[in-house]
Amino acid sequence: MSSGNPKTMVILISGRGSNMEALLKSRLPGKIAAVISNRPDAKGLQTARGQGVETAVIDHRAHPTREAFDAALAQAVDRYSPDLVVLAGFMRILTDRFVARYSGRLLNIHPSLLPAFPGLDTHARAIESGVTIHGCTVHFVTPSLDHGPIVIQAAVPVLPGDTEDALAARVLSHEHRIYPQAVRWFLEDRLRIAGERVRVKGARAGVGVLYAPEPDQ
């Protein structure tokens, strides 16, 4: 467990923010200082406000380049001096400079068992490829898209006759389990990045959930 003042986080969203909502409900040992979106119409902003969380909008359409947008976004994030920045359905590719600014304290969740199926349309691609196992991954963000040291993964079966929507719903229910767990570990100072791997102090694997890599004891 961490000592001293509770850590703070900022959550970045682009849409409904279901993973953000899961984090809000999880009674994490830290403070969600703000939710920031690149879209003023993101439904998750209303959800956050309803929970008493401060919100902000940095509209990417108001900035001529990715670099200009990321600079404005970083300025907004830094107002809260967060220990952790959490991407929860944030649909923007971040520049290397932004990623480097928050290196080791920038988490993302991706709807596949990385390194399989980076990018978009993961559920359709999983079905089309004929894999029988699919899932989701929480990882630290690096300049390589949908790569970076893996904190935790959850696996689900791909069932005969699965549709994209059915598989997505099955995966999403596990996203809502493992993202709060990963964030909790960070806030409790239980994560250690060792090269390309993450060590989790005291973690033990649970039924249906894969921890990657093996936990520290």
Number of structural domains in the chain: 2
The β-bridge partners of 200 are 191
Domain-ending residue, one of 70, 102, 134: 102
We report the CATH number of the domain holding residue 167 as 3.40.50.170
Residues of the chain with pLDDT under 50: 1-2, 207-208, 211-215, 217
Q: How far is CA 90 from CA 17, 42, 93, 94, in A?
A: 9, 10, 9, 10
Q: Are residues 74 and 136 in the same domain?
A: no
pLDDT at 207: 45
Q: What is the pLDDT of residue 214?
A: 45
Residue 2: its pLDDT value, please? 44
Q: Does the global pTM surpass 0.95?
A: no
Regarding whether 170 and 86 lie in a shared domain, the answer is: no
Are the C-beta atoms of residues 124 and 144 closer than 8 Å to each other?
no
Backbone angles phi, psi at 152, to 5 degrees: -160, 145
Q: Give residue 203's pLDDT.
A: 73
Which of 102, 136, 158 lies at the terminal end of a domain, its last residue?
Answer: 102
Same domain, 20 and 74: yes
110 is known as an active-site residue: yes
For residue 8, give the 3-state DSSP assignment: strand
Domain boundary at 75, 102, 129, which? Answer: 102
Tell me which residue range forms the domain holding 123.
Answer: 110-217
Predicted pLDDT of residue 210: 54
Whether 149 and 195 share a structural domain: yes
Do 166 and 89 lie in a common domain?
Answer: no
H/E stretch holding 32: strand 30-37
Percent of the chain with pLDDT over 70: 92
Question: Which of 110, 123, 134, 139 is flagged as catalytic?
Answer: 110
Q: Measured on CA atoms in the order 149, 212, 5, 174, is the torsion positive or negative?
A: positive
Q: Are strands 133-140 and 150-157 parallel, antiparallel or unpaired?
A: antiparallel
Kindly state whether residues 93 and 188 are assigned to the same domain. no
Give the separation between CA 5 and CA 193, rounded to whole angstroms: 22
